[in-house]
Structure 1
């Protein structure tokens, strides 16, 4: 689109180059110096902030990352244009009391430092206002590549080779995503649908505990761990599943939910303010922590193939209509252009020729796409 983009990310993989040219952007991998609750602080952030005036816009992601907080503080004492994207207000890695304290102090400071703040949903925007955030807030949906995530295409062999309906959990195995609730509910489902299978796609600190439960309950044939699947293979995972399940206590608007919907795989989720309105059109929701309701919904959905197909198709239509990333990219680019130090003309923006440089600062893990 005519933009010069540099992406900073954290990586401990010494086999990968520190700097890599990719299609449309430069990826810079920085080694973490300090890590707390899975949140990395890397010295390279300071280096890039010192040179921030070379960029037209700095784009940080989430108040939960040290690098975003540091970027916000730096922007307060300089004139660098700062955009921040909110990826949910509560952390899944720390105790809730600490997450609320951080949100009401450092989080509010970080968001108020932004020239523009991106929110994925209107309810989240209202919560930010209630928090005391006065920055310009734009609601722009998280976009999905609807040409990559489609109902038609290859399926993931390790799922399709198993007999019976397949339920998939995609995400980090951490307390905030409550994978143990999924496991407990699935044990009940097996009483009604013994041939059903559950696949955990992801890794994290709860992996060992979950495997111990599976071993103790003699469910190794029914519950399987796929670990971290390469991103390019994720469409095949969603297509192979009959049902996608999310049991989180809090979320922003997870890409995994939209990716699953784009592949016409129905959703079963906990009832979250950010996602409820959309998911109710493409699946079912249950209260957070209610494993009985989760099990009942899982069983009833797996028992009715016609309902699964109807919900899956509805999800695909929603994503095509509202979450196509070609539209969200255009909206985001237009907005960033309004705060850029070298604001392009409307004609340049419309034609995609603006020389806008962006640093997304604040990712705590490298997400290969």
Structure 2
């Protein structure tokens, strides 16, 4: 099968759960014998136009302009509309212009289109903006797809609420539970004998990284808690200005080191206002790390009794949730993930659906 994968951003140039998903899916489908080409926008002029890596081909085109962090590339559009020798186009995230182009190409052509929903709302723009988008261009983009992949039943239902009639397949996001496990070394980057609180994610408004900074500052002194912020982004300077000595900024940590980082923590905090099914939460739980997360309808059922869910923006709720976890008041996180969110199953099921198109 010849697969043209379309993604606005890719790993490792742009770190993140969604970009790693795209990379790992391409790598593993190539290892299965499929011919995978990844079409993307070039964010670094030093990167080559064509590159072969991890068994698949990357084709990059420069952006001409940008709106709301959404790069627009005429070169990408030309390639997409001239690529007629693929069996399927698989676009990632309806939030990007490249996926809108893939939808237009499907409207005008014969090559089937699959679209993976990595989360309905953007982390970098107000919710009302994307409510308008989802009821117009976003809905139209979903409607052009021969199949839409959603991570959870809840996400499927949310897509349907916007009037989307396309076929939807629920294929859970997954992680490598043999890499992310409680057994193994801890990270040399984390040096604290007290309670270790982790935040892992981009430092952008939609992730609400200010909430764990404020919450840890309000924890009782006897917990001797320290917050480690793993990730980078435009809010870093603002967060550093508000943070006390109880917060350490690690910046971007190589993905290969993340199992050790999770093993070094006592609790992961993810206070996002919007998510799909966050890879960070699954990785942490697979590593035996309890979580305190926003009470999002597609995330809460996964966490179950192995963590605490809190209303978005409720800092005191995050304080109480962290205390509950540190007091041992939750169940075994790994048991919630193992056997239910396996990456090999994610790849296998996705590939099976693509072959059926």
Range class of TM-score, shorter chain: 0.7 to 0.9
**Any stretches of 5+ residues in structure 1 without a counterpart?**
340-369
How many Å separate the matches in 1 of 2:336 and 2:304?
A: 11
How many Å separate the matches in 1 of 2:192 and 2:98?
A: 43
SS at match of 1:97: helix
Of 133, 136, 143, 1:105 maps to 136
How many Å separate the matches in 2 of 1:56 and 1:13?
A: 30
Q: 2:238 matched to which residue of 1?
A: 209
Q: 1:115 matched to which residue of 2?
A: 146
Corresponding position: 1:200 with 2:218: no
Q: 1:9 matched to which residue of 2?
A: 40
How many Å separate the matches in 2 of 1:126 and 1:187?
A: 38
Corresponding position: 1:180 with 2:210: yes
1:316 Cα deviation after fit: 1.8
Of 159, 164, 173, 1:128 maps to 159
Of 296, 303, 312, 1:272 maps to 296
SS at match of 2:172: coil
1:142 Cα deviation after fit: 0.8
1:89 Cα deviation after fit: 1.0
1:222-233 equivalences in 2 (<5 Å): 222-233=246-257
How many Å separate the matches in 2 of 1:196 and 1:250?
A: 26
Q: 2:62 matched to which residue of 1?
A: 31
Q: Deviations over 1:208-236 (max 9, x none)?
A: 1111112xxxx23x101111111111112
Q: 1:350 matched to which residue of 2?
A: none
SS at match of 1:8: strand
How many Å separate the matches in 1 of 2:226 and 2:118?
A: 31
Higher-RCO chain (CA-CA 8 Å, sequence separation at least 6)? 1
Of 89, 96, 106, 1:58 maps to 89
Contact 1:203 1:228 in 2 (8 A): yes
Contact 1:203 1:227 in 2 (8 A): yes
Corresponding position: 1:89 with 2:120: yes
Contact 1:63 1:106 in 2 (8 A): no
Q: 2:348 matched to which residue of 1?
A: 330
**Any stretches of 5+ residues in structure 2 without a counterpart?**
1-31
Of 208, 223, 242, 2:266 maps to 242
Q: Cα distance 1:331–1:173, how it changes in 2: closer, same or farther (>3 A)?
A: same
SS at match of 1:63: coil
Contact 2:41 2:76 in 1 (8 A): no
TM-score between the two structures when normalised by the length of structure 2? 0.87
